[in-house]
Structure 1
Amino acid sequence: MPLFDVYPLYDVTPIKAKDILVYDDQGTEYLDLYGGHAVISIGHSHPTYVSKISEQLENLGFYSNSIKNPLQMALAEKLGHLSSCEDYHLFLCNSGAEANENALKLASFYTGKKKVIAFKNGFHGRTSAAVAVTDNPKIIAPINAQQEVVFVDLGDVEAVEIALQSGEVCAVIVEGIQGIGGLDEASTDFYQKLSALCKQYGALYIADEIQCGYGRTGDFFAFQRHGITPDVISLAKGMGNGFPIGGILIHPNIKASFGLLGTTFGGNHLACAAALAVLEVMENENLMQNVRNVSTYFVEKASSITSVKQIKGRGLMLGLEFDFPIAELRKQLIFEHHIFTGSAKDPNILRILPPLTIQKAHIDAFFEALQTVLKNLT
């Protein structure tokens, strides 16, 4: 039985990985500067991570959410401590799309309203409500288009307020830094005004931290730079370091009721063990400080390359903008220099999303390869 043809695939078959290095079935070593779409946060096959999951599997891999799971409680406590969101409540699911789906559903339940404000070039997932608030008509099926969504430009406070004045908006959903859209981030003034408008008009502020959260910017969450308090925070990707887990953090003003949200696999024992291991490594190895240090070094190196028009994003969520499409550049990086990188909606942006464990020597290797490829392309 063939697989359903979804993605264009590079002819590389990874079979093993360690920290920031990946090995294919031919024994070729690759430098991973993409982390599998920003998923690998603490590096591949970290010994603490492997040990915690293996130990949990030997005891109990799964049981129903109808019984107590102490690992969920431990995860909520640890996550609250490291993120400085101790007063929020945690709901666990399996993916980023599910996290946003539940965040939007919760906002509609809580407010009794059904319209949503989202931002152009945003991406929030492929499930029904999540894809409806994603600015990509190609992946919105007719059944998804029934959602009532208003798209505005990121940074346009006036357009947001005009849309809110209808009194029918349940939520505004915004990425801390747009990922696939091109690493754009608005000003602190914009996010603060957006938060104030949500309070004024009774809409929930949903901070999508699925790609930009979990230490990737050097802060635990990207929104924390702007001094705001979202009503709901969605998270996934780096949360499990490859094990499927997602969740939403819910402000304590929003009260739960039976049947409001639910999940079969969300927050299962193995997923929680993986997520706890990630937080343990992040804390013990001071990975957010490492992000800040190596990001500064990366930006300094990138700034010296004349063909880099702009460096977008922050931390280890970075985009190098060139004045030409990067498809061939990316292809040469992977096949001639064995370095994984990413692309964005803007064809001229090379996306960099490595594990948070990356070191300066890895960055040196990348820029040496990049300079060689750029010479070949000119």
Structure 2
Amino acid sequence: MGMETTQQMKALDERYFMPAFSRDMAIVKGEGSKVWDGEGKEYIDCVAGIAVCSTGHCHPEVVKAICDQAHQLIHCSNLYYVPHQGEVAKKVVEITGMHKAFFSNSGAEATDGALKLARVRTGKKKFVAFTHGFHGRTIGSLAVTHKPAIREPFEPLGMEKTFVEYGDLEGLKKAVDSDTAGVIVEPIQGEAGVIIPPDTFFEGIREVCDKSGALMIVDEVQTGLGRTGKWLGIQHTKVKPDIVTLAKGIASGFPMGALAAREDLEFKKSEHGSTFAGGPLACAASLATLGVIEKILPEVAVKGERFRNGLAKYNPRVRGLMIGITIGDKCPEIQKKCAEQGVLVNCAADGNLRLVPPLTISNAEIDTVVKVLNGTLG
């Protein structure tokens, strides 16, 4: 089979696929930090599947792990012990500092699992989340996702929740009461455009949760697995959450998510489940991915600083390889200009340009990206 052209893909998409996405470009091949479109044009990819392809595209170790496993067993369901599942759970527990893990197929599902776990173990019903936070688009995860444009058409979502301004501890204290099951928060708000609050914010959340008996749920779907230069974004603080959710970078693009929780916080028999979650292929891909990230983790912060220095005049918000620049209404235009010059970047919310390149991106590639951005931002 030859590669499909962009026009062929577009024609099929327009006729047969529900128009939930805005897109005008096809990506047909990837290797390392580079991707190619349907016409063979090459780009440095600073979107990386939205912080997913952390090991770069088609990393040989990940490809080999998936292929080897596909020859052995593709699926067997959770009625049986699943190859590599225990190994990945052990690794997730070690890197998060939690006690046990459970797998899902996505970040949204990991959020759903965390909300269920918080409710069933506390016996409480309500949640507190933050403005501009994003936790997924399933009925459960959408209930705690703030953006009115994507949430309100689907209300009521069957979840009692209060939204508090991100960073507002006084507001949080007022919102949390004796029936609050959990407070869900991102260490850095990704979809909002890489918004980094002061560390004291998390210490404050921990304190409020400890006083009320609510669980602190930290959504590490975008910030986790090395993206910020540590295994978890919350590890830049001294705070220990009760539940952590993971996805995106966990298996180099193979659909997978996870939640991990502290001791005495776990699902009991039949309280949660999933046909595909933590299947043999996902776990093989994840195990290889975590092995690669472990090796490159020490370089992430240094690469982030290279971006920070190169883009200094735009006051970028940088933690590891998670970079946000506020540019306002011209964001879509800048995104387009960068693509024309062979660099893929992404507009998150509120006119914020977001860069979340593979953690394997080279210094030379960083310098090219910086040069293109400096040229287009003027």
Normalized against structure 1, the TM-score is what? 0.93
Q: Could you tell me which amino acid in structure 1 is paired with residue 325 of structure 2?
A: L
- In structure 2, C-alpha distance between the alignment counterparts of 1:209 and 1:253, rounded to whole Å: 21
Partner of 1:294: 303
- In structure 1, C-alpha distance between the alignment counterparts of 2:145 and 2:156, rounded to whole Å: 10
1:345 to 332, 344, 349: 349
Report the alpha carbon displacement of residue 290 of structure 1 after superposing the two structures with TM.
1.5
**Contact conserved, 2:96 with 2:244, CA < 8 A, in 1?**
no
2:102 to 68, 82, 91: 91
Report the alpha carbon displacement of residue 145 of structure 1 after superposing the two structures with TM.
3.7
In structure 2, the residue corresponding to 1:368 is in which secondary structure? helix
- In structure 1, C-alpha distance between the alignment counterparts of 2:237 and 2:190, rounded to whole Å: 18
Report the alpha carbon displacement of residue 254 of structure 1 after superposing the two structures with TM.
1.2
% identical aligned pairs: 37
Deviations 1:198-251 (Å, cap 9, x if unpaired)? 111011100000001110000100001111111110000000111000010011
Report the alpha carbon displacement of residue 323 of structure 1 after superposing the two structures with TM.
5.4
- In structure 1, C-alpha distance between the alignment counterparts of 2:330 and 2:290, rounded to whole Å: 37
1:151 to 154, 163, 169: 163
1:344–1:255: structure 2 CA closer, same or farther, 3 Å change rule? closer
- In structure 2, C-alpha distance between the alignment counterparts of 1:153 and 1:329, rounded to whole Å: 29
Normalized against structure 2, the TM-score is what? 0.93
Q: Could you tell me which amino acid in structure 2 is paired with residue 26 of structure 1?
A: E
In structure 2, the residue corresponding to 1:326 is in which secondary structure? helix
1:326 and 2:336 correspond: no
Partner of 1:211: 222
Partner of 2:250: 239
In structure 2, the residue corresponding to 1:249 is in which secondary structure? strand
In structure 1, the residue corresponding to 2:205 is in which secondary structure? helix
Q: Could you tell me which amino acid in structure 2 is paired with residue 157 of structure 1?
A: L
**Contact conserved, 1:129 with 1:144, CA < 8 A, in 2?**
no
Q: Which stretches in structure 2 are left out of the alignment for 5+ residues?
A: 1-14
1:24 and 2:24 correspond: no
**Contact conserved, 1:184 with 1:313, CA < 8 A, in 2?**
no
Q: How does 1:97-108 map to 2 (within 5 A)?
A: 97-108=108-119
Q: How does 1:135-284 map to 2 (within 5 A)?
A: 135-140=146-151, 141-165=153-177, 167-283=178-294
**Contact conserved, 2:117 with 2:267, CA < 8 A, in 1?**
no
1:255–1:78: structure 2 CA closer, same or farther, 3 Å change rule? closer
- In structure 2, C-alpha distance between the alignment counterparts of 1:14 and 1:236, rounded to whole Å: 22
Q: Could you tell me which amino acid in structure 1 is paired with residue 122 of structure 2?
A: T
Partner of 2:320: 315
- In structure 1, C-alpha distance between the alignment counterparts of 2:328 and 2:218, rounded to whole Å: 31
**Contact conserved, 1:128 with 1:144, CA < 8 A, in 2?**
no
- In structure 2, C-alpha distance between the alignment counterparts of 1:268 and 1:88, rounded to whole Å: 21
- In structure 2, C-alpha distance between the alignment counterparts of 1:274 and 1:93, rounded to whole Å: 14
- In structure 2, C-alpha distance between the alignment counterparts of 1:372 and 1:225, rounded to whole Å: 33
Partner of 1:64: 77
- In structure 2, C-alpha distance between the alignment counterparts of 1:243 and 1:278, rounded to whole Å: 10
Q: Which stretches in structure 1 are left out of the alignment for 5+ residues?
A: none
- In structure 1, C-alpha distance between the alignment counterparts of 2:155 and 2:350, rounded to whole Å: 27
- In structure 1, C-alpha distance between the alignment counterparts of 2:127 and 2:309, rounded to whole Å: 39
Report the alpha carbon displacement of residue 79 of structure 1 after superposing the two structures with TM.
2.7
1:4 and 2:15 correspond: no
Q: Could you tell me which amino acid in structure 2 is paired with residue 358 of structure 1?
A: I
In structure 1, the residue corresponding to 2:84 is in which secondary structure? helix
Deviations 1:257-313 (Å, cap 9, x if unpaired)? 111111110000000000001011112xx221111111111101111x3xx1x3124
1:323–1:242: structure 2 CA closer, same or farther, 3 Å change rule? closer
Report the alpha carbon displacement of residue 133 of structure 1 after superposing the two structures with TM.
0.6
**Contact conserved, 1:177 with 1:313, CA < 8 A, in 2?**
no
Q: Could you tell me which amino acid in structure 1 is paired with residue 333 of structure 2?
A: E
Tell which deviates more after alignment, 244-253 or 140-149.
140-149
- In structure 2, C-alpha distance between the alignment counterparts of 1:80 and 1:96, rounded to whole Å: 17
* RMSD, aligned CA: 1.4
